[in-house]
Amino acid sequence: MKNKIPTRIYLTEDEMPKNWYNLRAIMKEKPDPILHPGTLKPVTADDLGPVFCKGVIEQELDDTNLLIPIPDEIQDFYRAYRPSPLIRAYYLEKMLDTPAEIYYKFEGTNTSGSHKLNSAGPQAYYAMKEGLTSLTTETGAGQWGTAMAMACGFYNLKLIVYMVKVSSEQKPYRKALMEAYGAQLIPSPSNTTESGKKILAADPNTGGSLGCAISEAIEVAVKTDKCRYVLGSVLNHVLLHQSVIGLETKAALDKYGVKPDIIIGCAGGGSNLGGLIAPFMGEKIEGKSNARFIAVEPASCPSFTRGRYAYDFGDTAKTTPLIRMQTLGNDFIPSANHAGGLRYHGMNSTLSKLYKDSLLEARSEVQTDVFDAAIKFMKVEGVLPAPESSHAIKAAIDEALVCKKKGEKKVILFGLSGTGFFDMTAYASYNNKTMSDHIPSDTDLERGFASIPDIPQNK
Ligand SMILES: *Cc1c(COP(=O)(O)O)cnc(C)c1O
């Protein structure tokens, strides 16, 4: 076949991104500022200082510089496992018998198994540079904790991971992997913190939640000398680091003159989606492209499609600053969906603003449909997808089938954020048909909305 685009589109080391792409800088209307929960004024670097590293605070508050240089040491860190594969899904196209071209960017080849290492590396690097000696964080499904354990192992930092108790019991291999990299694992809620003790006193048998683990990790960071807290999604500096995904994809596609018409990603807190779309959305905002962008979320945790656009806390104990975002309310506890990485009540503020301004579309899917799509995909493409990432597969297949019906030769790009190797319990439950779909009722959602703070900005 002449001029056939290769199945794997490689980048050379020279073609790797030298800058991150700060999408907010190109937006005509910016996302609303993060507010201090006490004063309700925009937070300052000093407000965030006790919790986060200086390097990331500067990035978090920057909505004017479009290109932010990636320090040489982080470019080196990235080179250890990047560029990640960009794959033309010829077999999937053939199976669907669609005129559409389908591409996916696969972030699951590093040991942590997902895109999260792209931000874990920089966050540990800045902490090391600032002379800190330890970090704390939380993990739900375990991907973020593993990525941070790898990064802290690399930069010789101590790491304490508060892991949602049910997950630590369900995923013993995640725990072993984090410990092998030198991290200390504490099932949350625990009696090592005041917030943990409070939650345990109220419900000694609780399985924990992400919001609760965040509260514990922040408390320890603030109380410990030379220690800060790191977060793996939701915040804008995380999206900034993840823009490496979109920049690599764009550089590779540009080599062959390919321009995606539809770009799809799964959305938990928004970091892999935000990173993938960043440079493409920039072109759209500049009027240079007509691409569509689609966020896919679980029907059990529908922050975009059924959430409210409001200022809310990032954690259950209401200790974080207030972020204006699509939210289900800080005490919304999603049902036990297998896509653990998508079980978060809120959504990144930049993506929330893009959604509100109709630049980003969103849809929700139930997990049995998502696993149907995952199985179709892995049978022809060979790659075992994470349950989270399979939400994007579902939408990509649906869009390819629309192209088939209309006879349209669109270019579809989706983010395959991780591997499913640590999710075999989920696949087992799909195989033996014990998997069920839970969609919250309006009454369930009202209960969550009631926890959104009653402040003038939300009127
Ligand atoms: C954590 C995770 C997600 C969800 O997080 P985002 O910040 O929305 O990207 C999606 N896929 C995988 C594989 C994850 O580990």
Q: Do the domain assignments include residue 276?
A: yes
- Cα-based torsion angle of the residue sequence 283, 286, 292, 298 in order, rounded to the nearest 10 degrees: 80
Type of residue found at 51: V
Average pLDDT score over residue span 383-392: 98
Q: Do the domain assignments include residue 349?
A: yes
pLDDT class of 170 with cuts at 50, 70, 90: confident
Q: With 80 as the cut, is the pLDDT of residue 171 above it?
A: yes
Measuring from atom 14 of ligand 1, which residue has the nearest CA?
A: 341
Q: With 90 as the cut, is the pLDDT of residue 209 above it?
A: no
pLDDT class of 375 with cuts at 50, 70, 90: very high
Question: pLDDT by residue (tens digit) across 232-279?
Answer: 999 999 999 999 999 999 999 999 999 999 999 999 999 999 999 999
Minimum-distance ligand 1 atom for the alpha carbon of 273: 9
pLDDT class of 337 with cuts at 50, 70, 90: confident
Average pLDDT score over residue span 215-220: 94
Q: Do the domain assignments include residue 192?
A: no
pLDDT class of 177 with cuts at 50, 70, 90: very high
Average pLDDT score over residue span 64-82: 97
- For residue 105, give every residue at least 6 positions away whose Cβ sits within 8 Å of its Cβ, in sequence order, or none: 84, 85, 86, 87, 245, 248, 249, 276, 413, 414, 415, 416
pLDDT class of 207 with cuts at 50, 70, 90: confident
Whole domain around residue 290: which residue ranges? 8-17+69-111+236-451
Question: pLDDT by residue (tens digit) across 23-65?
Answer: 999 999 999 999 999 999 999 999 999 999 999 999 999 999 9
CB burial class (10 A; 0-12, 13-18, 19+) of residue 341? buried
Residue 1's pLDDT is 46
Minimum-distance ligand 1 atom for the alpha carbon of 143: 15
Q: Taking the model in full, what pTM does it have?
A: 0.97
- For residue 320, give every residue at least 6 positions away whose Cβ sits within 8 Å of its Cβ, in sequence order, or none: 37, 214, 218, 313, 314
Minimum-distance ligand 1 atom for the alpha carbon of 107: 13
Minimum-distance ligand 1 atom for the alpha carbon of 267: 8
Q: With 80 as the cut, is the pLDDT of residue 397 above it?
A: yes
Query: What is the spatial distance between Cα 131 and Cα 135, in angstroms, rounded to a whole number?
Result: 12
**How are the residues of the chain apportioned to helix, strand and coil, as percentages rounded to the nearest 5?**
45, 15, 40
Q: With 90 as the cut, is the pLDDT of residue 217 above it?
A: yes
Average pLDDT score over residue span 307-336: 92
Q: Do the domain assignments include residue 89?
A: yes
Average pLDDT score over residue span 110-127: 98
- In DSSP terms, 298 is beta-bridged to 365
The sign of the CA dihedral 16, 273, 183, 127 is positive
Query: What is the spatial distance between Cα 250 and Cα 280, in angstroms, rounded to a whole number?
Result: 8
Q: Do the domain assignments include residue 268?
A: yes
Share of the chain above pLDDT 90, in %: 89
Residue 3's pLDDT is 61
CATH number, residue 347: 3.40.50.1100
Output the CA 267–ligand 1 centroid distance in Å. Answer: 7
What average pLDDT does the chain have?
A: 95
> Which residues does ligand 1 sit against, CB inside 6 Å?
114, 116, 143, 233, 266-273, 341-342, 386, 388-389, 417-418
Residue 2's pLDDT is 46
Q: Do the domain assignments include residue 220?
A: no
Residue 311's pLDDT is 98
- Token pair 């200022």 in the structure block, residue: 311
Ligand 1 mutation pick, 107, 109, 111, 115, max ligand atoms within 8 A of CB: 115
Residue 124's pLDDT is 98
Counting the structural domains of the chain, the total is 1
Residue 294's pLDDT is 99
Q: Do the domain assignments include residue 293?
A: yes
Q: How many CA atoms lie within 13 A of 135 on its CB side?
A: 32
Output the CA 201–ligand 1 centroid distance in Å. Answer: 31
Average pLDDT score over residue span 359-371: 98
Residue 316's pLDDT is 80
Q: Do the domain assignments include residue 270?
A: yes
